[in-house]
């Protein structure tokens, strides 16, 4: 197992060096997820921060951090926010059942 892991790391390093030297075929560039406008999603629901946090069972401090862009939602939170944006009433009802 250790040799396979080492070989994988060395292949990655070789790809990175090739990419740095101009070989686009061997490089992979991660594209960051676009920032979510959490405040806009909340405002779309017509809720205050406190109401939104309670409705979707989010810590109020976390919501404030997202809205003030001190932090970004992680992948599961991004999914939840996307669902809220698409179907706020349905998601609120479902979350309240959990």
Domain residues of the chain, as ranges? 1-30, 38-97
8 A C-beta contact, residue 53 and residue 60: yes
A 10 A CB-CB count for 53 gives: 18
Give tens-digit pLDDT for 16-69: 888 888 888 876 667 777 889 999 999 999 999 999 999 999 999 999 999 999
Task: For residue 70, give the DSSP letter.
Answer: S
What is this structure's pTM? 0.68
The interaxial angle of helices 38-45 and 60-67, nearest 10 deg, is: 120
pLDDT value of residue 1: 59
Class of the domain covering 38-97: mainly alpha
Contact by Cβ (8 Å): 95, 57: yes
Q: What does the chain come to in residues?
A: 98
Other residues' Cβ atoms within 10 Å of the Cβ of residue 29:
6
Cα 11 versus chain centre, distance: 29
pLDDT reading at 71 higher than 70? yes
**91 C-beta neighbours (distance < 10 Å), count:** 19
Judge whether residue 11 has pLDDT over 90. no
């Amino acid at each position: 197992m250790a040799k396979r892991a080492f070989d994988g790391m060395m292949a990655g390093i070789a790809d990175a060096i090739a990419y740095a030297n101009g070989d686009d075929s061997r490089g992979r560039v991660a594209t960051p997820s676009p920032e979510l406008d959490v405040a806009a999603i909340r405002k779309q629901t017509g809720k205050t921060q406190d109401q939104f946090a309670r409705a979707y069972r989010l810590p109020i401090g976390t919501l404030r951090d997202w809205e003030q862009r001190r932090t970004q939602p992680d992948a599961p939170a991004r999914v939840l926010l996307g669902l809220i944006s698409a179907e706020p009433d349905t998601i609120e009802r479902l979350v309240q059942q959990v």
